[in-house]
Amino acid sequence: MGRSPAPAACYGYPQQPGWGGPPPQPPKKRSIGKILGITGAVLVGLIVIGAIAGGGGDDSTDKSNKDKAVAATSNKPKAAKEPAAEEQAAEEPAKEEPAADKSQAEQFKACVTKSGTDSEKAAVGHVTKVTGTDKTNDILDAAEVFTDYKGGFLSENAGDAKLIASAFASCYESKNGLVTIYGSDGDMIANGNY
């Protein structure tokens, strides 16, 4: 009849520790060098991200004009840029206010007046304030247009707000820009890429 079954160790299975077996070894501790290396890498990464997001600071004691002249000329609306020298000689020289003396809302309205459709011109008449067009870095440019409209996404003025966003995209250019249109009550009405 029979033989008794052989122990598990005979079949190639490892023997399980039981009473009296050696206790399991504690996990190895990480070396301090690895911890400092990881911490240093995280710190450097945060500094790089902060430098990219900040885009450099505007120091009020900075007297150099090296980078400021480039930034001042590149942030004008597309339609409001100066014509070429040949075109300027052919046209009558018109005396306009320098762009630096106008507010961002006035610059936007002037651009739409020059190159916008009639419906865009009517919609832009409701613009009260524009922010975020003076500094661009093509990483994440976020402009805000404030209007005298009321309501949010489902308001009766949502179509006009989309026209304002479209007109903004035709006046300003960015690789990764987002314009948001707000009502007088602070609710977001529309947004669009530019």
**Euclidean distance between CA atoms 107 and 134, whole angstroms:** 11
For 33-70, give one letter per residue: b (16+ CB within 10 A) or e. eeeeeeeeeeeeeeeeeeeeeeeeeeeeeeeeeeeeee
Which residues touch 15 (CB under 8 Å, ≥6 apart)?
8, 9
Which pLDDT tens digit goes with each residue over 34-48?
777 888 888 888 888
Query: Helix, strand, or coil here: 46?
Result: helix
Name which of 101, 103, 120 is nearest 171 in CA terms. 120
Name which of 121, 122, 139, 134 is nearest 172 in CA terms. 134
Residues of the chain with pLDDT under 70: 1-22, 29-30, 55-100
The whole-number pLDDT of residue 70 equals 41
**Euclidean distance between CA atoms 154 and 188, whole angstroms:** 10
Q: What is the dihedral of CA 119, 121, 125, 128, to 10 degrees?
A: 110
The whole-number pLDDT of residue 81 equals 47
The whole-number pLDDT of residue 74 equals 47
The whole-number pLDDT of residue 26 equals 76
**Euclidean distance between CA atoms 112 and 119, whole angstroms:** 10
